[in-house]
Structure 1
Amino acid sequence: MTEPFFKAQLPMPPSVNHYWAKSVKRAKGKQYVHVRLSDRAKKFRSDVVAQVADIAQRHGSIRTQNGRIRAVVTLHGATKQSYDVDNFMKGIGDALTHSLVYKDDKQIDELFIKRGEVTKGGQATIELYEIVDNTVWNSVMDFIRGVKR
């Protein structure tokens, strides 16, 4: 595997369960649900934007990635409490898009998430790689095609 084009240790993102805040609004006698980013999600995004700007300042500018991406994420919870590792990618993906590391999290074709060691305060280690060829993906697709026959 090649070197990552971006690598960082970010704060632990809010779970998707705490990413959105909802409130009921009333207008002209009707009720509707207003959905917005939660305060925790806003703080996480702001912290990541500042951290990426700091990384860019220390290591030279970060070129926004336009191609396909492989993301390797290691989540280090703050406690031994169990959690669903897949519930944390929304915040990470959106924050890195907002930080201009890549144009859109839709560019991520391959995503590997793993649980790491408990770390005080929690953190997420992110490694992003440009997908130059899809050898692994093509092998997976060949296998799937073989199973379907």
Structure 2
Amino acid sequence: MTTLTLPWPPSNNTYYRRVGAKTLISEKGRQYAKTVSQLCLISKVAKREGRLQVVITACPPDRRKRDLDNLLKGLLDALTHGGAWQDDSQIDDLRIVRGPIQVGGTVSIEIAEITQCA
């Protein structure tokens, strides 16, 4: 199992930007992906190739109401970019739970390979 602690990700509301007819990753989203890539490299995260279980504990930065599902797309894309797996389509079991408030906010990611029952 691999465990990583990452900074609080941008929500879907700020991860993407519309430019004309195109949807692009915002500057905030690109910077987050770069930070996650650096942390994956420092933590020597090995690229997983099999089927995966991912458990995310999201510790928000404050008491504001937040939809946890708004964190997933940017976070999972950043982990793909950072080399945690080949593609997030490998994830068969994805869980997200709310943790305690932490200054600045963090997300703890547990990644484990799973076997399929025949």
Same fold (TM over 0.5): yes
Q: TM-score, normalised by structure 1?
A: 0.75
* Residue number among 9, 34, 43 corresponding to 1:46 in the alignment: 34
1:80 corresponding residue in structure 2:
63
1:131 aligns with 2:114: yes
1:18 corresponding residue in structure 2:
14
For residues 56-135 of structure 1, the aligned pairs below 5 Å read: 56=44, 62-134=45-117
Aligned length: 118
Residue segments in structure 1 that go unaligned for 5+ positions in a row: 25-32, 57-61, 139-149
Residue segments in structure 2 that go unaligned for 5+ positions in a row: none
Higher relative contact order (CA 8 A, sep 6+): 2
Letter of the 1:16 counterpart: N
**Cα distance in 2, alignment partners of residues 36 and 120 from structure 1:** 29
How far 1:17 moved relative to its partner?
1.4
Q: Which has the higher helix share?
A: 1
**Cα distance in 2, alignment partners of residues 23 and 63 from structure 1:** 35
**Cα distance in 2, alignment partners of residues 105 and 115 from structure 1:** 21
**Cα distance in 1, alignment partners of residues 39 and 75 from structure 2:** 13
**Cα distance in 1, alignment partners of residues 76 and 105 from structure 2:** 17
Q: Which has the larger radius of gyration?
A: 1
1:81-114 per-position Cα deviation (integer Å, ceiling 9, x unaligned): 0111111111111111111110000000111101
What's the RMSD between the two structures over aligned residues?
1.4
How far 1:45 moved relative to its partner?
0.3
